[in-house]
Amino acid sequence: MKLSRTIALLLICINPLVAQVEQLNRYELLLNDRDDNESFRVASLEEDGLLIYRKLIMPDGDRMHLIKIDTTLAESWQGYIGMDKNLSVSHIRVKDKVAFILFKSSTFISGNFQLLASNVSNGNYRIYNIENFIPFNPTEFIVTDEGAMLGGYFNYRPLVLFYNFSTGRARVLPGFFNEPGELNQVKQNPDGSVDVVVSAKNYERKKSLWIRNYSASGDLIKTTVIEPDGNKNLIFGRSVKMPNNAQVVAGVYGGRDSNYSRGLFVAEINPAGEYKTTYYNFGDLQNFFSYMKANRERRTKERIERRKIKGKKVRFSYRFLVHEVVPYENQYVMLGEAFYPRYTFSNARVGTLGYYGNPMMRADRVFDGYQYTHAVIIGFDNNGELIWDNSFEINDVKTFELQQFVKIAPEHDRITLLYLHNNLIRSKTIKGNQVLEGKTADPMKARFDFDLVKERDTEKSKLDYWYPEHFYASGVQIVRNQLREGTYRKVFFINKLKYQ
């Protein structure tokens, strides 16, 4: 009896440390196998629900099909809006209970855009036609109190276009069109101003970061330039404003070959524009190589220690993309993912004959997508000093478009990392350098008990943030009926998730 009580007590003590995916509800739309229209996609309306949308190709004119569902996954309204055949959805943003849908030209001949503003409560909408003489593909899009900002490139040079809702006119924000560069971020701050972060070469031909701060109406307020130390190059950075009005920029730096990252940097900028930059080599992080198998990780760390003892530099080259820099408790965390491009080789005839009269062949290298290896999460204090680091292995994920897979669910005493792949929600719970719960894999919940979804039957799936403490998972699935062999249905699904 005493032993039973002891076991029960241990279970009570241990259970709060175990993270669990709670799948609250599921929504499905039946799809037609012969349907040539675009697949459904979904965007978060935060506490107001989700917006489901797709383009319908119709004989009498194309239409945008919109469905709004609330946080219980119940439909609130749906409707159809006529649209031009040459337009496609580029971005969706929500501000003050209005969903702003940006349409771009699929031909890139015209620089004009169309912006649809739909009231999320009833679907009523207004269309803004953005006339612009510079054709570009928007990679960034935000909405301020006074207009919309579209970021992209023209002739390898970054630009940000501001469209004023009141005047109906668009203009390129000041400070662009000077030199080639990379647009890292367009971010709105709590005070309504907007920071635009650009990576470009300075007069010494070293990559630096330009942080330009604009008002909600697109007026340039100030410019801060963060320049690297020594032979370093600042490849990519993201900005966040701290509660003490300081600004933090975190990202990756490289050596002479600026295509590969050598480590991470953190720059703290005070209100006067003065900054201090701290660099962290990948080899200095405690858990950066934890995604490797045990023996390989041990050999890697032993090699690092040997080089340090001999006074030699530790150099690792990774392709690494920083996705988030967010405040957390009395610190802030940075989340990024490592990846590498994959190639296949195909034989092709070159049109000439060899010595024996056989056609000569050439091996062509063909891009085969980006393979992800692991996510890295790092905690810093308000002075930019590293407190802890951790990592999360990413298995089997390959994509032709770079995007964020791993998401974070922060709580006051732990952080959960999770991503969706092949109908499995994979997660890991950490507390600083510690691992509270190792990697787990939970299958997505089906609609009915007799439903069966195999891993290969899920495509176009994604996991994304919804509203506090909640995520949504979506995609297309073949759902098989276990009671009736050979019967199935093809659906677009949304699962509501809560992590606790």
3-state secondary structure 241-301: ECCCCCEEEEEEEECCCCCCECEEEEEEECCCCCEEEEEEEHHHCCCCCCCCCHHHHHHHH
What lies within 8 Å, CB to CB, of 101 at 6+ separation is 53, 64, 89, 91, 92, 115, 116, 117, 118
Measured between alpha carbons, how far is 274 from 270 in angstroms, rounded to an integer? 6
Distance of CA 276 to the CA centre of its chain: 27
Provide CB contacts within 8 A for 408, sequence distance 6+. Answer: 324, 326, 333, 335, 377, 415, 416, 417
Domains of the chain, residue spans: 228-443
**Tens of each residue's pLDDT in the chain, 500 residues:** 444 444 343 333 434 445 567 899 999 999 987 665 678 999 999 999 999 999 988 888 889 999 999 999 999 999 999 988 888 899 999 999 999 999 998 776 678 999 999 999 999 999 999 998 888 889 999 999 999 999 999 888 999 999 999 999 999 999 886 778 999 999 999 889 999 999 999 888 899 999 999 999 999 999 999 999 988 999 999 998 877 777 899 999 998 766 789 999 999 998 888 999 999 999 989 999 988 888 988 998 888 888 888 777 778 889 999 999 988 888 889 999 999 999 987 766 655 555 445 565 566 788 889 999 999 999 998 788 899 999 999 988 988 989 999 999 998 889 999 999 989 999 999 999 999 988 889 899 999 999 999 888 898 899 999 999 999 999 999 999 988 888 889 999 999 999 77
